[in-house]
Structure 1
Amino acid sequence: MSTIPTLKRIDSIDVLRGIVMVIMALDHVRDFVHDQAYTGDPLNVLTTTPVLYFTRWITHLCAPTFVFLSGLSIYLQSIRKSKAELSSFLFKRGIWLIFVELVLISLAITFNPFYNLIVLQVIWAIGISMILLSFLSRLPYKVVLAIGLVIVLGHNALDFWEAEPGFKAGFWWDLFHHGLFAVYPIVGDHYLAIIYPFVPWTGLMILGYCFGVFFTAKFTSAQRQKILTRIGLFLLAFFVALRAINVYGDPHPWTTQANGFATFLSFMNVNKYPPSLAYMSVMIGIAILALAFLENIKNQVTNVFRVFGRTAFFYYILHFYLAHSITAVLFFYRGHSLDDAMKALQKIPFFFQIPGEGYSLEIVYLIWILLIAGLYPLCKWYDSYKTAHKEKWWLSYL
């Protein structure tokens, strides 16, 4: 692949990343403070409400978009770096991200300083994917693209194997493909929870990497906007056709419900753990259309999202600690003691949460808005700091 001169930084990427980071916080606030967070599935057509369903569904956009944009950003870095430099950077940053997941994010989610539960979420998936891409990026572009397509288009073939009578997923199967909140003992009373099996996410990052070619100087803004619109619409049409066939692309077929709206909800309820082909098609289709829409839009609103997008990793870590701190304050406000928190750990492995306790969805939205408002000045400061200190090499890892 020949080197193509890069454009100046494209704001639409940062804006979209910022939008999904803000939406993501809504889901995590709901997990922490909603009174139904641990008593039911918000996507269960038989028990949910339309508002609760779409509050959860819209946040499905976040992880795949974040992973996809991570791959896209890596491609743009590949233009500025040699293959050796890029490979070294990706390998080291991947190791760093996995460390952050195990140490900082696990603590933020559980507030358990003894680390009785360690989680493998999206940061782990991005980290291991970067490590793998540090090797794959040395290969020809078409080979990398083919690998990404094979993974994304083909990984759901494993669903048929899983559906066989007597099938049992083991540790490596869960780590590579299945996941679904699988918990494995580490030592003593310490456990590992696999939430994001990495292979399908790696495939998505690879496709994001290959997609980055459209954001080089080879394409004008108008050309890119047209291409992105066509690809986004194609992915949505592909999703509808794939989901309508109801044979492949998602381990959970949709079913006809009591009315048309409920059937629509069943149709749209695609599998995130692991991310199915149907799930990735609809979410990335929406994300690519958003990139096309945001191409030439710049105003005060997009400037706010741009700040969040430029400080996404900083924001991600901070928002977990802040959201869980709010949860702790509300826990004691409701009259609970530290002893109550310890007893609650027997039901769920997260401090200061009791199944069935919490607040309405309206309060969830209010806390979410206040959380975002509180994070903005911190992210604004950090963005200014990064801009003023570009010579500091360690900032590239944050």
Structure 2
Amino acid sequence: MTQQVPGQAQLNRLGIARLDSVDMLRGFVIALMVLDHVRDYFHVHAFVFDPLDPARTSVALYATRWITHLCAPTFVFLSGVSIHLQRAQGKDTATLSRFLLSRGLWLVLLEFTLISFGFNFGFVLFAQVIYAIGVGMILLAALIWLPQRVVLAIGFLIVAGHNVLVPIDAQSLGSLAVLWRAAFEPGLVAGMPGFVAYPFIPWFGIMCVGYGLGGLFLKPEPERRRSTILLGTGALVLFVVLRLVNGYGDQLPWREYETSGRTLLSFFNVSKYPPSLLYVLATLGVSLLLMPLLERLRGTAASALLAFGRTPLFTYLLHVYIVHGSALLIGVALGFPAKIFCNFIVDPSRLVQAGWGFGLGIVYIVWFGTLLTLYPLSRWLAAVKRRRRDTWLSYI
């Protein structure tokens, strides 16, 4: 099997050279996403307390959780960038709109079937990042008929302004509560076994920003590097300024603790559910600064990131079953009842009461083993996508 070499042009389904920078960053955050989910299934305190709680966490646990904050916003942002690149590479508006509509519906279906089952090993409507991306694509199927700068403005408005709506409580909206949860407020879905973790409107704003800024990634490499560094630096500077004011931009103000170290942890503990303005500035700022560094990677690590980045949906779906399945098999081998690993997403108390879980060292070992398992499978599909132009391949 031919190995993917960073810096060597690879072709997409349209026969046009892919951008290593986009694929590498996407692969990097997918690898981090695997770490986050391994922590969920294997860490002893995963369902006991928030790993970002400055009063209870350790520096290692905090760092492990915080770095995985990069995953979802970068994944969604790059989805928007990729849509712009498809348009720039020759897809007319009507064709692209139809594709976004069909792929968006497909992603929502996957989220509520194979993906939700993989996370829970039981029926549950678990609305996560794939749901948010799917609904975002459905909405963008309509918005791409507008000028790109208008879509960018809509994205900025949503990202910067949706925090105004945070005080509205879904429970106060009566029959509209379900729609409000789906769009704005995370939480349990009344009357059905389900949980909305990623309400789609805030994440759609991030996708629109990615689409609107997609042209930056088509610039020559030196100019693209300068642009991403300036954007990333600007986002982080704005984050620090707004966070110091401790006013608008995040639903969780920071506060002083008994030590400066825990105060610093509080300062960087920004809200993901839903993603606040400060959360987006901090995470995308870091990701944009990482992009030029990742482009310099070579060897097996770079090839693995490219393989993950060029097969994102396949790798995502596969890792869910590998991670959850590994937890179940290891748990049963150690004498834990299999039933505690099933139907626990809404109520994980059985896992906690059984004492399941390990320290961070084991979490990182399982993470590394999972990546080793995923790599040849993702590389195989990436090679298939290079060789073939079948339409169905764009849906996996």
Tell whether the structures are fold-level matches, with TM greater than 0.5.
yes
Separation of aligned partners in 1, 2:105 and 2:345: 32
Q: Deviations over 1:222-264 (max 9, x none)?
A: 1111111111100000000111111100001000111111111
Equivalent in the alignment of 1:85:
95
Which TM-score applies when normalising by structure 1?
A: 0.90
1:184 equivalent in alignment to 2:190: yes
What code does the residue aligned with 2:287 have? A
C-alpha contact (below 8 Å) 2:31/2:371 kept by paired residues = yes
Which has the higher mean CA deviation after the structures are superposed, 38-47 or 126-135? 38-47
Cross-structure match for 2:10: none
Q: Does 1:310 align with 2:310?
A: yes
Specify the SS of the correspondent of 2:18. coil
State the Cα distance separating 1:349 from its structure 2 match.
Answer: 5.8
1:142 and 1:167 map into 2 onto residues whose CA distance is 34
How far off its partner does 1:182 sit? Answer: 2.5
Residue aligning to 1:320: 320
- What is residue 241 of structure 1 aligned with on the other side? 241
Match of 1:3 in 2: none
Please name the residue that 1:109 is paired with. 119
Q: Distance in 2 between matches of 1:370 and 1:317?
A: 17
Q: 2 CA distance for matches of 1:231 and 1:93?
A: 30
Structure 1 pair 300–326 and aligned structure 2 pair: CA distance change class (3 A):
closer
**Equivalent position SS for 1:119:** strand
Is the contact made by 1:35 and 1:355 (CA closer than 8 Å) also made in structure 2?
Answer: no
Distance 2:326 2:110 in 1: 22
Change in Cα spacing, 1:139 to 1:32, as seen in structure 2 (3 Å) is same
Query: How has the CA–CA distance of structure 1 residues 334 and 260 changed in structure 2, closer, same or farther, with 3 Å as cutoff?
Result: same
Matched, 1:376 2:381: no
Q: CA deviation at 1:389?
A: 1.4
**Aligned pairs, number:** 380
Residue 382 of structure 1 and its aligned partner are, at CA, apart by: 1.1
- By how many angstroms is 1:334 displaced? 2.0
Task: Give the direction of change, closer, same or farther, for the CA distance of 1:135–1:356 in structure 2 (3 Å limit).
Answer: same
Please, which moves more after superposition, 168-177 or 329-338?
A: 168-177
Q: Report if aligned partners of 1:327, 1:352 keep a CA contact under 8 Å in 2.
A: no
Is residue 65 from structure 1 mapped to residue 83 from structure 2 by the alignment?
Answer: no
1:88 and 1:170, CA in 2 relative to 1: closer, same or farther beyond 3 A?
Answer: same
**The residue matched to 1:103 in structure 2 has which SS?**
helix
**Which of residues 7, 10, 21 is equivalent to 1:12?**
21
Aligned counterparts of 2:344 and 2:39: Cα–Cα separation in 1: 19
Q: Deviations over 1:108-140 (max 9, x none)?
A: 00011xx1x210000000000000000000101
Does the CA-based 8 Å contact 2:340-2:350 persist in structure 1?
A: no
Residues 150 and 63 (structure 1 numbering): CA distance in 2 closer, same or farther, change over 3 Å?
Answer: same
Q: 2:146 aligns with which of 139, 153, 164?
A: 139
CA distance in 2, matches of 1:76, 1:340: 44
Residue identity in the other structure for 1:77: Q
Q: How many percent identity over aligned positions?
A: 41
| Cα contact 1:38–1:356 (8 A) shared by 2 | no
Q: What's the counterpart of residue 11 of structure 2?
A: none
Query: Quick one: which of 124, 133, 149 aligns to 2:131?
Result: 124
CA contact (8 A) 2:194 2:346 kept: no
Task: Give a deviation string over 1:345-395, Cα, whole Å, max 9, x none.
Answer: 5983699786631111111111111111111111111111111212x1100
Task: Give the deviation of 1:162 after TM superposition.
Answer: 5.3
CA offsets per residue over residues 278-306 of structure 1, 9 Å max, x none?
00001011111122333455444222211
Aligned to 2:155: 148
Report what 2:6 is aligned to: none
CA distance in 1, matches of 2:277, 2:369: 35
Cα shift at 1:170 = 2.4
Deviation of 1:311 after TM superposition, in Å, equals: 1.1
Provide the secondary structure at the position in 2 that maps to 1:147.
helix
Q: In the aligned structure 2, how far is the partner of 1:278 from the partner of 1:286?
A: 12
Change in 2 beyond 3 A, CA 1:162/1:184: closer
- CA distance in 2 between counterparts of 1:35 and 1:150 reads 40
Q: In the alignment, what sits opposite 2:198?
A: 196
Q: Per the alignment, in what secondary structure is the counterpart of residue 189 of structure 2?
A: strand
Gapped regions of structure 1 (runs ≥ 5): 1-5
Aligned to 2:182: 175
2:140 is aligned with 1:99: no
Whether the 8 Å CA contact 1:38–1:355 is kept in 2: the answer is no
Q: TM-score, normalised on structure 2?
A: 0.90
CA RMSD of aligned residues (A): 2.4
Output the amino acid matched with 2:203: W
Deviations 1:159-188 (A, max 9, x none): 34559xx89992222221111x323223xx
**1:321/1:352 CA distance change after superposition, 3 Å:** farther
Note the 1:220-235 alignment, pairs <5 A.
220-235=220-235
Distance 2:354 2:57 in 1: 17
Mind listing any 5+ residue stretches in structure 2 that lack a counterpart? 1-14
Aligned counterpart, 1:51: 60
